[in-house]
Amino acid sequence: MSCLLLGVIRRQGGVGASVGVRSLASIPSLPPAVADFVKGAVDECKPANVQVVTGTPEETANILAGLERDGMVKRLPKYENCWLARTDPKDVARVESKTVIVTKNQRDTIPIPAGGVKSQLGSWMSESDWQKARQDRFPGCMAGRTMYVIPFSMGPVGSTLSKYGVQVTDSPYVVASMGIMTRMGTPVLQKLHEGVEFVRCQHSLGRPLPLKAPLINSWPCNPDKVLISHLPDTRQILSFGSGYGGNSLLGKKCFALRIASRIAKDEGWLAEHMLILGITNPQGVKRYVAAAFPSACGKTNLAMMKPSIPGWKVECVGDDIAWMKFDSQGKLRAINPENGFFGVAPGTSDKTNPYAMATISRNTVFTNVGETSDGGVWWEGLDPPPAGVTLTDWHGKTWKPGSSTPCAHPNSRFCAPAAQCPIIDPQWESEEGVPIDAIIFGGRRPEGVPLVYESFSWQHGVFVGAAMRSEATAAAEHKGKVVMHDPFAMRPFFGYNFGDYLAHWLSMQTRKAPTQLPKIFHVNWFRKDPATGTFLWPGFGENARVLEWIFKRCGREREEEAAKKSYIGWLPEDGAINTKGLGSKVDMGALFDVPKPFWQKETKELRAYFTQQVGADLPAQVEAELKALEDRVHT
């Protein structure tokens, strides 16, 4: 090992020491494969120093103190160990248009769309174009900065469902956030010493020192050069130019969904954009449910729900990502691979999600929210601050209620440890995962789609997931209230060809080993009264009434128990949804109306989408389910 590399990977006394790249040392601390990866990144990015992150509280305190010194975060004295970051206004969300998958053949990444239509199911970049893009960005990109080496685990360290990664980054904000969102540091390094495989994650803000232009909000980023690239064949992620969480915390969407979905396909499991919750009935019977909703459609609110019906209890395993694998008995078991919540702040309140509010009251990093003059945070959806307390918006400017611009950015975030959630499930870190009885799909559908229905079969359920559509939200750069296709809530996160992804889901019903397939449901909390434009369903804690029906359906003895057949699936029979205490304002008839003209239009839209976007890669079983639905809605 070269003297240079030994200098790079030296550590001292438990806290990762910042080591000058040219310094000499004789304390090798990284496993050989990790050392090779780090050396390659050092040679390419040319940092001034390298620090191996150990994850100790002292190290975290030092990182945050450095961020505060540099003006990147501000301490919030109203709370215990809470911090506020304000980003460059050009670096506020995932940038789907700059997020690519790099494979030898385009069809490995996306189905080839019909007639020159742009694919909505991912962006492919050729290997040669990617090499040029890399050459244009990474050489020397960390000059003058410290490169942090973050060994991390997605899932509990040691679980057979967990996977490991090493991220190099020049962003201390990323180090602080990864310390919340993943298990990181020395325990992971010990696993890497055992020779476990790991995903190689390289991230740079793309602003070498000395700066050529001033920073905005003391937030280094390079918006014109942003590129978030994934190489599934070699299990690599290279992200450049953005400090925003979804682009820079590479364990999150990049690894836990895009790369993991490909690993899952290769190894026979599922990596999904799903919350996981446990629900216990008044008799003490417990079931676990996984649910896929697009970003900002209420995953966190459902995962931390306070049920409105007496005697029922919900506990949270995870609010965003589920890794699911069949055990030897054929039960689908799920882990939350994350260690924290990276939630959308606006709309979160004691009314909508009291448990999230309790979770984020300490040890939390807030990004792009409003600030109160008494050292707290504020966003749309919270009660106005008390008299005499003034507000500063996410740009750092004075803000008053009634202003034409929001105080908090619509995609502003909190990053908080999951263990702080008051209703975190006792099994949330179980190494074998929790047993999944039901999978729920859902989205924002203002018309036509009922409050809840159940699929006729696993195959029909895969079709229901493939047919998901939802109004666009602020979690990515899309604008406005357009209803978009978002199959499985994975549209921005597929790591490989969507047709192959559907085939992989369908293959679960033909496994040779014993298999107990979960039941599949679809929910829609967001249906509106066409006359008034108001929501027909109160949502939030009242959603427990829908979970109660799903719970009962999972334990049914007869197919038609508490249900009636419709042409889109099994609907609750009249009276099957408990409405006691709901109030008379809720029009259950309107919530469960399934208008044929709407569904005729919907099937036509789906036919066009599958033809244009998936084409020859659409599995025959999904085509058959669409044809069957077309036949049912036209009879």
Q: Of residues 148, 164, 173, 244, which has the active-site annotation?
A: 244
**H, E, C per residue of 324-347:** EEECCCCEEEEECCCCEEEEECCC
Side by side, the strands of the sheet bearing 391-392 are 377-378, 370-372, 391-392, 398-399
User: How far is 570 from 587, CA to CA, in rounded Å?
Assistant: 19
Is 295 known to be catalytic?
Answer: yes
The contacts of residue 582 (CB under 8 Å, 6+ apart) are 538, 542, 545
Residue whose pair of structure tokens reads 């975030």 in the numeric block: 413
Is 566 known to be catalytic?
Answer: no
**H, E, C per residue of 73-92:** EEECCCCECCEEECCCCCCC
CA 69 from centre of chain: 30
User: How far is 477 from 330, CA to CA, in rounded Å?
Assistant: 40
Q: Do 318 and 418 form a contact (C-beta atoms < 8 A)? A: yes
Q: Of residues 39, 94, 262, 527, which has the active-site annotation?
A: 94
Q: Do 468 and 485 form a contact (C-beta atoms < 8 A)? A: yes
- Angle, helices 172-181 vs 57-69, to 10°: value is 140
User: How far is 492 from 498, CA to CA, in rounded Å?
Assistant: 11
User: How far is 282 from 552, CA to CA, in rounded Å?
Assistant: 13
The contacts of residue 496 (CB under 8 Å, 6+ apart) are 101, 108, 109, 232, 261, 262, 265
DSSP letter at 422 equals T
Q: Of residues 18, 153, 204, 295, which has the active-site annotation?
A: 295
Residue whose pair of structure tokens reads 């980023």 in the numeric block: 221
Picking from 3, 98, 7, the residue whose alpha carbon sits closest to that of residue 49 is 7
Q: Of residues 413, 445, 485, 504, which has the active-site annotation?
A: 413
* Burial of 462 (C-beta count, 10 Å sphere; 0-12/13-18/19+): buried
Pairing of strands 469-471, 483-485: antiparallel
Helix (H) or strand (E) holding 176: helix 172-181
* Gyration radius from the chain CA atoms: 24
Is 218 known to be catalytic?
Answer: no
Is 288 known to be catalytic?
Answer: no
Q: Of residues 170, 320, 393, 425, which has the active-site annotation?
A: 320
Q: Of residues 273, 325, 504, 553, which has the active-site annotation?
A: 273
b/e per residue 396-419 (b: at least 16 CB within 10 A): eeebeeeeeebbbbbbbbbbbbbe
Is 193 known to be catalytic?
Answer: no
Is 501 known to be catalytic?
Answer: no
CA atoms within 13 Å, Cβ hemisphere of 559: 6
Q: Which tokens belong to 510?
A: 């033909």
CA atoms within 13 Å, Cβ hemisphere of 596: 8
The contacts of residue 437 (CB under 8 Å, 6+ apart) are 287, 288, 289, 518, 519, 554
DSSP letter at 541 equals G
User: How far is 388 from 380, CA to CA, in rounded Å?
Assistant: 19
Q: Which tokens belong to 583?
A: 């109030």
Is 148 known to be catalytic?
Answer: no
Is 320 known to be catalytic?
Answer: yes
Q: Of residues 235, 253, 258, 491, which has the active-site annotation?
A: 253
Pairing of strands 452-454, 519-523: antiparallel
Positions annotated as catalytic residues are 94, 244, 253, 273, 295, 297, 320, 413
